[in-house]
Amino acid sequence: MGCMNPYFPNLLSPIQVGSVTLKNRICLAPMNLLERDPNGVFKARDIAFIERLARGGVALITIGESYVGRKNGAAGLALHINDPGAYNGLCDMADAVHRYGAKISIEMSHAGAFSRPEYNSGELPMGPSAYVTPLGVQVTEMNEEQMEEVANEFGDAALTLKNAGFDLVMFHAAHGWLIHQFLSPRTNKRTDKYGGSVENRIRFPIMCLENIRKNVGKAFPIDMRITGDEVIEGGYGIDESKKFIKYLAPYVDMIQCSTGGIYHPDAAARMSPVVFYEKGCNVPFATAIKESINIPVSCVGGINEPLQMEEIIRDNRADLIVMGRGLICEPDLPKKLAVNDIENINRCLRCNECHNRFFAQGWFTCTINPTVGHEIDHVRTDNTPRVAKKVLVAGGGPGGMMAALTAARCGHEVTLCEKETALGGAIRFSDHVDFKIDMAYWRRQIEGKLAKTNINVLLNTSVNHEYVNNFAPDVLIIAVGADPVIPPIPGIDNSKVILGAKMHDRCLEFGKDVIVIGGGMVGCESAVELKNRGCSVTVVEMLPRIANGCGEAQANSIRVGLLGVKTLVNTRCLRVTNKGVRVKTDGHDEILLPADSIVLSTGMSARSKLVEDLQQAHVPETYVIGDSMAARKMGNAIKEGYYTAMNL
């Protein structure tokens, strides 16, 4: 038994899970690695990503969805555990994690009705009951032979993992995949002994668990991920899940209680809880389950506050804390907690940019952790500069702050000039918005870090090319951001019109009825904020959907926030008058939307003229980063600031 940690005595205490001892109570949530190696093995990049997390001090790493089915059950690109080609990669992965004293598990999954023919050699998906998916794919009802086959596949996968050096296995019974499909009366419509009562619905899951146990033996721990509450109309609630868990618990050593899943947008928003839910919103489900069984229960979902984590364990609300996004953005969380270095812990923004990887690069990314996904590229580990340079950073937004901090840490002599009275740039708005609390925290945090360096921060200092020439730096980093785009709508200069980017300085001026022109992410979030302030808000968007250009997860988050806000798509603003905004929706007549205030949120555009002026200066090295290169998001600015400075 190790010493008790003085700062987080409960959170950092060990716990026994079956025969395995976990060194603390912090675990990585399963997140799929989107394996793409044609031979089925983990790529070096997968291993580097996981190894980095193990190095940060997490006790248990569970690799995300990995398929057990040999010819069915895949919903996308992921590791196939029963593929003989996967074995060496599994061994390497286990070895990488063990080098740092962490334990490793994997989420054994079968997508069931969510399987996609293109990932299953054209095989149609199968599930507890037949139906045609919204995409027109026929799902077939599983017969007993198919059930036995899948149960065997789970057992075979577990044995493979045990042999490959894994310490535990996870049985994925959550989030809408095959096992969950059997457990839920929403999807299990069978009238035979596998459907209907709780006792019938658990029959197939137990068949799988029996096979797993038979293959791995009594001493090998099995973890089970469940959806504690389906959180949608017609879905099961916590009382029903407690009933089936009572039957399943004797077959497993630990239960991970998640919530919701991918079967419905509302359920997805609760699975990786978005900013509009309170932190730790799903913990009560884990607590309810913990009270009804005698094995460890872990909780997961939107947890990012160290003190809250300690209290959850201390107050016996759960035995372990599982984190996905909180560890993506701060892999060193456990190690930093151990020395109470809270101020240097990145706190997840719950912005779900990391979810976008499914649709974009296909790999992990993070708004505030620029190194995530590039673990394998981080060959340059020391921060010593090749030559110490005199660096001038123009603009103190996220990009400029990150560039200045990183350059200073690399040993350069840095001056950061900001023309406004405070640092923060466009994200200063977050100080006024309660659901942006973690963005505001990030800003204060990086300001605190800057204050601890010898960076010369000059506020109220506007930089132009003459200033730069006088300053004579070796390096100029231009991070001057973007300006709001003002479309040529007649009447747009009406005094009722407030620029979205500036609206937080003018909150007291808002009347009751507000029209937001522009339904992108920023316009929609402004609408949510105004709704929360008691305004009656309408968003007008000329494209066919709001939050266009956002990833699915972010668009889904915005949808949750917008409940109670009227949105008009395919709608053009014709002109602004003293009475409001005249609009025309495709196929309809022009109408007046009465408004007391009008928020203009029609995008941002790089301050190109200023950039061009600054580029006239005589400087050996000049870089343009963030929104001043092209208006995008905070994560782009941070990443460019970081890598520009790292490469000086």
Ligand X SMILES: Cc1cc2nc3c(=O)[nH]c(=O)nc-3n(C[C@H](O)[C@H](O)[C@H](O)COP(=O)(O)OP(=O)(O)OC[C@H]3O[C@@H](n4cnc5c(N)ncnc54)[C@H](O)[C@@H]3O)c2cc1C
Ligand Y SMILES: Cc1cc2nc3c(=O)[nH]c(=O)nc-3n(C[C@H](O)[C@H](O)[C@H](O)COP(=O)(O)O)c2cc1C
Please select the residue that binds ligand Y; options are 264, 270, 355, 639, rule is CB under 6 A. 355
| Closer residue to ligand X, CB minimum distance, 94 or 401 | 401
CB of 470 to ligand X, least distance (A): 14
Q: Which residue has the tokens 């892999």?
A: 331
Please select the residue that binds ligand Y; options are 106, 300, 333, 606, rule is CB under 6 A. 300
Based on the shown chain and the rule CB under 6 A, indicate whether residue 272 belongs to the binding site for ligand Y.
yes
Q: Which does 32 bind (CB under 5 to 8 A by kind): ligand X, ligand SF4, ligand Y, none?
A: ligand Y
User: Which residues are CB-contacts of 123 (< 8 A; sequence separation ≥ 6)?
Assistant: 71, 72, 115, 117
Q: Which does 57 bind (CB under 5 to 8 A by kind): ligand SF4, ligand Y, ligand X, none?
A: none
| Closer residue to ligand SF4, CB minimum distance, 23 or 325 | 325
Tokens of 460: 């109220």
Q: Look at the alpha carbons of 551, 557, 562, 563 in this order and tell me if their dihedral is positive or negative.
A: positive
Looking at 420-494, list the stretches that DSSP marks H as alpha helix, in order from N- to C-terminal side. 437-451, 465-471
CB of 29 to ligand Y, least distance (A): 3
Nearest by Cα to 170 from 131, 203, 209, 197: 209
Nearest by Cα to 142 from 110, 171, 172: 110
Give, as ranges, the residues between 247 and 266 that touch ligand Y (CB under 6 A): 258
Separation CA 68–CA 51 (nearest Å): 24
Please select the residue that binds ligand Y; options are 55, 175, 264, 582, rule is CB under 6 A. 175
| Closer residue to ligand Y, CB minimum distance, 145 or 278 | 278
Region of 85 (left: φ > 0; alpha: ψ -120 to 50; beta: rest) is alpha
Please select the residue that binds ligand SF4; options are 329, 394, 450, 576, rule is CB under 6 A. 329
Based on the shown chain and the rule CB under 6 A, indicate whether residue 635 belongs to the binding site for ligand Y.
no
Residues lying near ligand X in the complex (CB under 6 A): 351, 367, 394-400, 417-420, 425-427, 429, 462-463, 479-482, 500-501, 522, 610, 626-628, 632-635, 637
Binding flags for ligand Y, 31-70, as an x/- string (CB under 6 A) = xx-------------------------------xx-----
Please select the residue that binds ligand Y; options are 107, 310, 353, 525, rule is CB under 6 A. 107
Q: Which does 159 bind (CB under 5 to 8 A by kind): ligand SF4, ligand X, ligand Y, none?
A: none
| Closer residue to ligand SF4, CB minimum distance, 150 or 303 | 303
Separation CA 638–CA 255 (nearest Å): 37
**CA dihedral in degrees (203, 204, 205, 206; nearest 10)?**
50
| Closer residue to ligand X, CB minimum distance, 157 or 417 | 417
Contact between 183 and 244 under an 8 Å Cβ cutoff? The reply is yes
Check residue 137 and report its DSSP letter: P
Q: How many Å is the Cα radius of gyration of the chain?
A: 27
Give, as ranges, the residues between 330 and 369 that touch ligand SF4 (CB under 6 A): 348-354, 366-368
Based on the shown chain and the rule CB under 6 A, indicate whether residue 397 belongs to the binding site for ligand Y.
no
Q: At what angle do helices 144-163 and 203-216 cross, to 10 degrees?
A: 30
Based on the shown chain and the rule CB under 6 A, indicate whether residue 347 belongs to the binding site for ligand Y.
no
Q: Three-state DSSP class for 647? A: coil
| Closer residue to ligand X, CB minimum distance, 115 or 365 | 365
| Residues linked to residue 456 through DSSP beta bridges, in sequence order | 415
Contact between 165 and 20 under an 8 Å Cβ cutoff? The reply is no
CB of 30 to ligand Y, least distance (A): 4
Q: At what angle do helices 398-409 and 437-451 cross, to 10 degrees?
A: 40
Q: Which does 522 bind (CB under 5 to 8 A by kind): ligand Y, ligand SF4, ligand X, none?
A: ligand X
**CA dihedral in degrees (415, 418, 423, 425; nearest 10)?**
-130
- The neighbour count for residue 322, using CB atoms within 10 Å, is 26
Q: Three-state DSSP class for 192? A: coil
| Closer residue to ligand Y, CB minimum distance, 196 or 284 | 284
Q: Which stretch binds ligand SF4 (CB under 6 A): 109-117, 157-165, 294-302, 322-330?
A: 322-330
Phi, psi of 450 (to 5 degrees): -60, -40
Amino acid code (one letter) for 77: L
Count of residues in contact with ligand SF4, rule CB under 6 A: 13
Task: By CB under 6 A, name the binding residues for ligand Y.
Answer: 29-32, 64-65, 107, 174-175, 225, 258, 271-273, 300-303, 323-326, 354-355
List of residues contacting ligand SF4 (CB under 6 A):
325, 328-329, 348-354, 366-368
